[in-house]
A and B are shown apart, each in its own frame.
Chain A
Amino acid sequence: MDYQLHPLGDQAVVIELGEEINLETQKKVKRLSTFLEKNHETWMVEYIPAFTTVTLFYDLLAVSQLSQNSVLPYQAVCSYINKIIKSLGTDEEVDQRTIEIPVCYGGEFGPDLEYVAEHNDLTPEEVIKIHSEGDYLVYMIGFAPGFPYIGGMSEKIATPRRKSPRLKIPPRTVGIAGIQTGVYPIETPGGWQLIGQTPIKLFRPLDDSPSLLQAGDKIKFFPISYEEYMNWEDDK
Chain B
Amino acid sequence: MIKILKPGLLSSIQDLGRYGYQKYGVIASGVMDPLAHRLANLLVGNNELEPTMEISLLGPTIQFEEDMLISIAGADLSPTINGEAVSPWRPIFVKKGAELKFGYAKYGCRAYLAAAGGFAVPSVMESKSTYLRAEIGGYNGRALKEGDILKVTPPSVLSQKIFESLKGNQLFTEMDWTVAADLLPDLADQSRIRVIPGRQFSLFNKDSQIAIFNDPFEVTAQSDRMGYRLKGKEMALEKQEDMISEAVSFGSIQVPPDGNPIVLLADRQTTGGYPKIGQIATVDLPLIAQAKPGDSISFTEVTHEEAQRLYLEREEKIQQLKQGIKLKFR
| A residues with CB within 8 A of B | 6-12, 14, 20-21, 33, 45-53, 55, 57, 60-61, 64, 72-74, 140-147, 149, 160-161, 163-165, 167, 177-178, 180, 185-189, 191, 203, 205, 209-211
A47 touches B23 (CB 8 A): yes
B311 touches A48 (CB 8 A): no
B249 contacts A by Cβ under 8 Å: yes
A73 to B250, CA, bound (A): 19
* Nearest Cβ on chain B to A148's Cβ, whole angstroms: 9
* Nearest Cβ on chain B to A175's Cβ, whole angstroms: 12
* Nearest Cβ on chain A to B274's Cβ, whole angstroms: 8
B252 contacts A by Cβ under 8 Å: yes
A161 to B270, CA, bound (A): 18
Given contacts A11-B311, A50-B247, list 16 more A-B pairs with CB under 8 A.
A8-B249, A9-B251, A10-B311, A51-B244, A53-B246, A55-B246, A61-B311, A140-B245, A144-B27, A161-B242, A161-B257, A163-B256, A178-B242, A205-B124, A210-B26, A211-B24
Q: A14-B246, A143-B272 are in contact. Are A187 and B133 (CB under 8 A)?
A: yes
Q: Which of B27, B242, B245, B257 contacts A145 (CB 8 A)?
A: B27
B116 contacts A by Cβ under 8 Å: no
B125 contacts A by Cβ under 8 Å: yes
A112 to B27, CA, bound (A): 27
Return chain B residues, CB-CB under 8 Å to A72. Answer: 305, 308
Q: A140-B271, A145-B25 are in contact. Are A186 and B308 (CB under 8 A)?
A: no
* A72 and chain B: residue at smallest CB distance: B305
A177 to B22, CA, bound (A): 22
Q: A48-B22, A143-B245 are in contact. Are A61 and B312 (CB under 8 A)?
A: yes
A167 to B229, CA, bound (A): 12
* Nearest Cβ on chain B to A53's Cβ, whole angstroms: 5
A160 to B257, CA, bound (A): 10
Return chain B residues, CB-CB under 8 Å to A9. Answer: 196, 249-252, 279-282, 307
Write 8 A-B pairs (CB below 8 A) sorted by A numbering. A9-B251, A60-B282, A145-B25, A145-B27, A147-B25, A163-B256, A177-B273, A210-B26
Max count, chain A CB within 10 A of own CB: residue among B19, B252, B270: B270
Give residues 224-245 of B contacting A (CB, 8 Å): 226, 242, 244-245
B270 touches A188 (CB 8 A): no
Return chain A residues, CB-CB under 8 Å to B242. Answer: 160-161, 177-178
A10 touches B24 (CB 8 A): no
B196 touches A10 (CB 8 A): yes
Return chain A residues, CB-CB under 8 Å to B269. Answer: 142-144, 188
A20 to B282, CA, bound (A): 30
Return chain A residues, CB-CB under 8 Å to B196. Answer: 7, 9-10
Q: Which of A12, A73, A163 contacts B249 (CB 8 A)?
A: A12
* Nearest Cβ on chain B to A17's Cβ, whole angstroms: 11
B133 touches A73 (CB 8 A): no
* Nearest Cβ on chain B to A27's Cβ, whole angstroms: 16
B252 touches A145 (CB 8 A): no
A142 touches B199 (CB 8 A): no
B258 contacts A by Cβ under 8 Å: yes
B249 touches A145 (CB 8 A): no
* Nearest Cβ on chain A to B138's Cβ, whole angstroms: 13
Return chain A residues, CB-CB under 8 Å to B222. Answer: 167
A167 to B133, CA, bound (A): 13
B199 touches A8 (CB 8 A): yes
Return chain A residues, CB-CB under 8 Å to B10. Answer: none
A187 to B23, CA, bound (A): 19
Return chain B residues, CB-CB under 8 Å to A49. Answer: 23
B21 contacts A by Cβ under 8 Å: yes
A48 to B19, CA, bound (A): 11
B317 contacts A by Cβ under 8 Å: no
B134 touches A205 (CB 8 A): yes
B136 contacts A by Cβ under 8 Å: yes
B256 touches A46 (CB 8 A): no
Q: Which of A10, A142, A161 contacts B282 (CB 8 A)?
A: A10
Q: Which of A60, A161, A185 contacts B308 (CB 8 A)?
A: A60
Return chain A residues, CB-CB under 8 Å to B22. Answer: 46, 48, 142
B24 touches A11 (CB 8 A): no
B304 touches A143 (CB 8 A): no
A9 to B285, CA, bound (A): 12
* Nearest Cβ on chain B to A52's Cβ, whole angstroms: 6
A45 touches B133 (CB 8 A): no
Q: A8-B247, A10-B196, A145-B134 are in contact. Are A46 and B252 (CB under 8 A)?
A: no
A7 touches B134 (CB 8 A): no
A143 touches B270 (CB 8 A): yes
A168 to B250, CA, bound (A): 21
* Nearest Cβ on chain A to B298's Cβ, whole angstroms: 19
Q: A51-B246, A186-B134 are in contact. Are A210 and B312 (CB under 8 A)?
A: no
Return chain B residues, CB-CB under 8 Å to A21. Answer: 244
Q: A61-B315, A189-B226, A211-B25 are in contact. Are A48 and B247 (CB under 8 A)?
A: yes
Q: A143-B270, A163-B257 are in contact. Are A10 and B304 (CB under 8 A)?
A: yes
* Nearest Cβ on chain A to B159's Cβ, whole angstroms: 24
B20 contacts A by Cβ under 8 Å: yes
* A185 and chain B: residue at smallest CB distance: B25
A9 to B311, CA, bound (A): 12
